[in-house]
Structure 1
């Protein structure tokens, strides 16, 4: 059991470290292509990071709630954690270093990464403790197929819906109508309302992986690899009519990212549980306090971006003074800055782990 949980912790920690890395380059003007999101359709390695985390949220739910009963105490714990995650996300969206330390109302972003994690955790947890695994498969299929039909068949203001970044894109239109100026961009939000539906499916697919890891099945790594490969094939075939798109969190995107997640976790499980190879301790440290590491990295980055240093910010000043040199490219300088940030939060995670401080959100 410890090793199974260890493999999940390593996967979670590696995902968080990647989230910190891709979110904190030295400059967004010079970033290697794999560390950028796809402009719209398609995906890059960076586009795998957030769905990997939602996937592992689902896997972790199995370990956390496999023996929990459907009573008021369990629902209370799930609800409190959900509200904490949403509250932290809203705090990040509203905070500014200028008094009174909150942005103008029109500039506060309502959707966000932590908000989505909270909502997905809530629904995936409630479904897991109330629904058997076979009906849960059908629910997952309904979420994916239903979202596909919504996005392609429902017209917007009498105009056929599109999957392009346009006013008659149903998900984008709904976010603008509901949130107005509180979106990530004026015309859409990558963590918007409608696209949260298939993101729940991302977590439910992680639930099924957790059930496999807890089962008495032999050759679990082989099973996960087979599932992962199947998801990749189906997802890329679905891409032909429902393009892979992170901003819209399309159903094909859900399957492709879950496919890669299963393949990655299968490899970690094979190395740690089957071959008994000890590795990835730093990932385990980060995984043990994953949400706090992500929150701190986002919060401190936000502060450093707002503190003025001459004509630049503290972030920009440090990058220019320490990392920018004539003998290396700007892309490499930007990456080295990000790696330094990652090293710092790995050290923080190591300190917390050694002190047995596990901050549960």
Structure 2
């Protein structure tokens, strides 16, 4: 069991460090190409990172709750953790370094990454402790198909719905109606309300993987690879009628990203459990404090972006002074800055792990 948990921790840590990397380039105007998000439909390697984390949240739920007696205290802990995650996310969306340290109410973003993690964790945990895996499969299929039908068949203000970035996109329209000015963009939010429904399935698919890892199945890596490949095929076929899209978290996007997650986790499991190869310790260290590392990286980046140094920010000043050189491209300079930030948080994860400091959110 220890090795199985190890492979999950390595995957979680690698995912959180990639989240740090893609969120902290030297400059957003010159992002290194592989670390750009897709403009709208389609996906890049960067678009895999957040769904990978929701996937591994589901896998971790299996390890946390599969042998525990469910009682009122279980529900209390789930609710408290959910509220902590949402609270941390709202804090990041509202904080500024100038008194009174919070943005004006109308400028605070309500949705966000940590908020989505909290909501997904809540529903995935509740579903896991109350239903058998066969029922969860039915729920997952129902949510994905239902979301597809909602997004394609329900008219918006009497106009046929679209999957493009437009006012008659049902998910975008709902975000504007519910959140108003509290979205990431004026017309939509990538962690919006309706798209949270299929993101729950990203975690449910992680739960199925977790159940395989703790089962008595033989050749688990082979099984996970088969599942991953099947999800990729189905997702890409669904893409023909319901395009892969991270901002909308489409059903095809859920299947494709979970497919890749299964394939990569299967490889890690094969190396660490089957072949007993020791590697990836730095990722395991980061994975043991994943949420706090993500929170700190976001908070510190936000603070550095607000501290003025001359006519730029502290972030911009450091980037220009240390990383920008005529001999290398701006994209490479931007990547080097991000890698430095990644190295710092990887080292922080190592220090926390060695000192046995684990932040429970």
TM-score, with structure 1 as normaliser: 1.00
Match of residue 57 from structure 2: 57
State how far apart, in whole Å, the 2-side matches of 1:85 and 1:145 are: 28
Once the 2 structures are TM-superposed, how far is the Cα of residue 218 of structure 1 from its aligned partner? 0.3
Q: Report the equivalent of 2:358.
A: 358
Moved over 6 A (4+): none
Partner residue of 1:331?
A: 331
- Would the aligned equivalents of 1:190 and 1:246 in 2 still touch at CA under 8 Å? yes
1:77 partnered with 2:77: yes
- After TM superposition, the structure 1 = structure 2 runs for residues 148-167 of structure 1, keeping only pairs within 5 Å, are 148-167=148-167
- Counterpart for residue 268 of structure 1: 268
The answer as to whether partners of 1:159 and 1:168 remain within 8 angstroms in 2 is yes
1:68–1:129 Cα contact (<8 Å) kept: no
Tell me how far apart the structure 2 counterparts of residues 308 and 249 of structure 1 sit (CA, whole Å).
36
Write out per-residue CA displacement over residues 272-310 of structure 1, whole angstroms, 9 at most, x where no aligned residue.
000000000000000000000000000000000000000
After TM superposition, list the pairs within 5 Å mapping 1:86-235 onto structure 2: 86-235=86-235
RMSD of the TM alignment (CA)? Answer: 0.4
How much has 1:337 moved relative to structure 2?
Answer: 0.3
Aligned-partner SS, 1:342:
helix
Q: Does residue 36 of the first structure (1) align with residue 72 of the second (2)?
A: no
* Alpha-carbon separation, structure 2, partners of 1:342 and 1:257: 23
Return the alpha-carbon distance in structure 2 between the equivalents of residues 140 and 70 of structure 1: 22
Kindly state the Cα deviation for residue 211 of structure 1 after the two structures are TM-superposed.
0.1
Q: 2: distance between equivalents of 1:183 and 1:68?
A: 38
Aligned to 1:289: 289
CA distance in 1, matches of 2:67, 2:111: 32
User: Which deviates the most, 24-33 or 111-120?
Assistant: 24-33
- Residue matched to 1:349: 349
C-alpha deviation, 1:69, in angstroms: 2.4
Following superposition, the deviation at residue 70 of structure 1 comes to 2.5
d(CA) in 1 for partners of 2:111 and 2:10? Answer: 28
In 1: Cα distance, 2:68 partner to 2:78 partner: 11
Instruction: Tell me, yes or no, if the aligned pair for 1:38 and 1:47 is still in contact at 8 Å.
Output: yes
2:305 is aligned with 1:305: yes
Instruction: Measure the CA separation in 2 of the matches of 1:161 and 1:343.
Output: 44
What is aligned with 2:237? 237
Distance 1:38 1:261 in 2: 18
Task: Give the 3-state SS of the residue equivalent to 1:103 in structure 2.
Answer: coil
CA-to-aligned-CA distance 1:205-261 (integer Å, 9 cap, x gap): 000000000000000000000000000000000000000000000000000000000
- Cα separation, 2, equivalents of 1:138 and 1:225: 22
Q: Deviations over 1:27-55 (max 9, x none)?
A: 01111221010000000000000000000
Larger deviation, residues 325-334 vs 112-121: 325-334
Cα deviation for residue 17 of structure 1 reads 0.4
Aligned counterparts of 1:348 and 1:280: Cα–Cα separation in 2: 15
SS in 2 for 1:111: coil
Report the count of equivalent residues: 361
Separation in structure 1 between the aligned mates of residue 52 and residue 120 of structure 2, nearest angstrom: 13
Unaligned ranges ≥5, structure 1: none
Task: Give secondary structure in 2 for the equivalent of 1:29.
Answer: helix
Equivalent-residue separation in structure 2 for 1:68 and 1:57 (angstroms): 17
Please name the residue that 2:251 is paired with: 251
Measure the CA separation in 1 of the matches of 2:265 and 2:70: 29
The answer to which of 65-74 and 122-131 deviates more is: 65-74
Structure 1: distance between partners of 2:69 and 2:133? 16
